[in-house]
Amino acid sequence: MAGLKYMSGFGNELSSEDPRCPGSLPEGQNNPQVCPYGLYSEQLSGSAFTCPRPANKRSWLYRILPSVKHKPFTAVPCGDLTENWNEVEPDPNQLRWLPFTIPKSTEKKVDFVAGLHTVCGAGDAKSRNGIGIHMYTCNTSMVDRCFNNSDGDFLIVPQQGEILITTEFGKIMVEPNEICVIQQGMRFSVDVFGETRGYIMEVYGAHYELPDLGPIGANGLANPRDFLCPVACYEDRKLSTGYTVINKYQGKLFACQQDFSPFNVVAWHGNYTPYKYNLKNFMVINVVGFDHADPSIFTVLTAKSTRPGVAIADFVIFPPRWGVADHTFRPPYYHRNCMSEFMGLIKGHYEAKEEGFQPGGASLHSMMTPHGPDAECFEKSSTAELRPERVAEGTMAFMFESSFSMAVTKWGLQTCHRLDKSYYQCWESLRSHFNPNWRSSEQE
């Protein structure tokens, strides 16, 4: 949408007021006896009050009516959104999905919430420790209804079709190759402009943050200035027919009715906001000598666990870059990992598997499940001339990595009908190159 404005900075203390109501932010205090313009003050807390200052998250919203004014919540069907990790038996195999089907608008109108499908996950929203990975496939905008996640944060990765997200803090346009984070408790509605698809990584009990850079230094990877937050833009709408607020709470969906739009925030200030980021701004670091650095150098955002260096979830990308490593097998190495690796593809062809892994599809290599380049990639890269080359040009693959051993849902294994049961065959033609009589040139 042309004309949308943003403020920049990751986790910054920001303030915004709709220009239609100048002076709507109270001066010198958060909760005056009477707010400017007769507004209500409401605090949204994203952390415990007593969290250390660097981790303390909250925002103050100045709104036409407070969010407490609504009818009681009642349970509504969850569709394919679930936190039941035991509905089917575990599957330790390498899994790959063909592009997930987007419903045709001529057959059925499906909005963002109705189009949520849980693929895999682990943990528990009640104990505030876990992860859920979902797909969204939809074809129509949300009308007079919004979504609120009381369980955790949504990291949204559009793959097909831009989405306009209206939040209590303002509007955000998110296109493929951008991401958006809607943090716990923030109400939002999604407009789409055709058949739309994307990925979501949800975390319970932690918020996404920038990874520590260590010896990299002060600059690199995702720079804080490139994260964008919306500006205040209120709507003062009364709805005699009712406005529906959908609440994801303890893994279930509930709905309530109210007679006004929840996007009635005239001004706000704080450091707990939704935000977006364009993946093209990622400052890539790569090997300039030999061997591989681990893919952690491609981490955009992380949700830390209580164990140092171990993440509930990492969001990692594989962007266009230069490959220059000498006497090195350059594609990703063969691997067994104590982490779970869920991969998606926004566009292009993933370097280790140029066939089969398609935009809008996915793969899951579970904890300690072997994975790596297919046979064709191995043979080609083992004999390639090692000259400087562009890698992943026109491509954007990503990984949701987690320390949890994620279970796949019934929808992911069966109902979606997109599981590629021939995936294992891409390694079947790997052959032995072992030669017990081999001698290096130095030994001859």
Q: What is the dihedral of CA 165, 166, 168, 174, to 10 degrees?
A: 30
- Looking at the structure, tell me whether residues 293 and 269 fall in a common domain: no
Whether 81 contacts 117, CB under 8 Å: yes
Is residue 286 located within the same domain as residue 273? no
Is there a single domain that holds both residue 207 and residue 262? yes
Place of tokens 């203390």: 13
Q: What pLDDT score was predicted for residue 257?
A: 97
Are 119 and 218 within one domain? Answer: yes
The reply to whether 434 falls in a domain is no
Residue 362: beta bridge partners?
Answer: 97, 344
CA distances from 85 to 75, 134, 402, 411 (A): 20, 13, 15, 11
Residues 313 and 394 in one domain: yes
State what percent of residues in the chain have pLDDT above 90.
Answer: 94
Q: What do you get for the CA distance between the two ends of the chain, in Å?
A: 68
What is the C-alpha separation between 379 and 387, in angstroms, rounded?
17
Phi and psi (nearest 5°) for 269? -150, 150
Arithmetic mean of pLDDT, 72-94: 97
Predicted TM-score of the model (pTM): 0.96
Residue 354, pLDDT above cutoff 70? no
164 assigned to some structural domain = yes
- Report pLDDT digits (tens) over 186-206: 999 999 999 999 999 999 999
pLDDT at residue 419 greater than cutoff 80: yes
Tell me: do 273 and 289 sit in the same domain. no
> Which pLDDT score is estimated for 3?
83
Domain C-terminal end among 261, 279, 297: 279
**Residue length of the chain:** 444
Under 8 Å between Cβ of 114 and 81: no
Distance CA 142, CA 156 (A): 16
87 annotated as belonging to a binding site for a ligand: no
Q: Is 134 annotated as a binding residue?
A: no
- Using CA atoms, how far residue 88 sits from 84, 120, 265, 433, in Å, is 9, 11, 43, 39
CA distance 336 to 136: 29
**Interstrand relation of 238-249 and 145-149 (parallel, antiparallel or unpaired):** parallel
Per-residue confidence band for 356, with pLDDT thresholds at 50, 70 and 90: confident
Per-residue pLDDT for 415 more than 60? yes
Same domain, 265 and 286: no
Domain boundary pick from 279, 313, 335? 279
Q: Could you report the per-residue pLDDT of 29-50, keeping only the tens digit for each? A: 999 999 999 999 999 999 999 9
- What is the number of helices (H) and of strands (E) in the chain? 2, 28
**324 and 273 assigned to the same domain:** no
Is residue 296 assigned to a domain? yes
**Into how many domains does the chain fold?**
2
Q: Using one digit for the tens of pLDDT, what is the confidence trace for 262-309?
A: 999 999 999 999 999 999 999 999 999 999 999 999 999 999 999 999
The answer to whether residue 211 sits within a structural domain is yes
Of the pLDDT bands very low, low, confident and very high (cuts 50, 70, 90), residue 350 is confident
Q: Which of 230, 231, 199 is nearest to 400 (CA)?
A: 199
Statement to judge: residues 57 and 13 lie in one domain: yes
Answer whether residue 443 shows pLDDT above 90.
no
Domain-ending residue, one of 254, 279, 304: 279
Residue 433 lies in a domain: no
Do residue 105 and residue 131 come from a single domain?
yes
Q: Are residues 328 and 310 in the same domain?
A: yes
For position 349, what pLDDT does the model report? Answer: 85
Q: Is residue 63 part of a domain?
A: yes
pLDDT of residue 47: 96
Question: Are 287 and 257 within one domain?
Answer: no
Q: Which residue in 292, 327, 349, 417 is the catalytic one?
A: 292
Q: Would 435 be classed as within a structural domain?
A: no
* CATH of residue 58: 2.60.120.10
Is 335 flagged in the annotation as binding? yes
> Residue 352 phi/psi, 5° resolution?
-85, -15
Torsion angles phi and psi, residue 375, rounded to 5? -60, -40
* 427 within a domain of the structure (yes/no): no
Residues spanned by the domain of 118: 6-279
Average pLDDT of the chain is 95
Q: Is 292 a catalytic residue?
A: yes
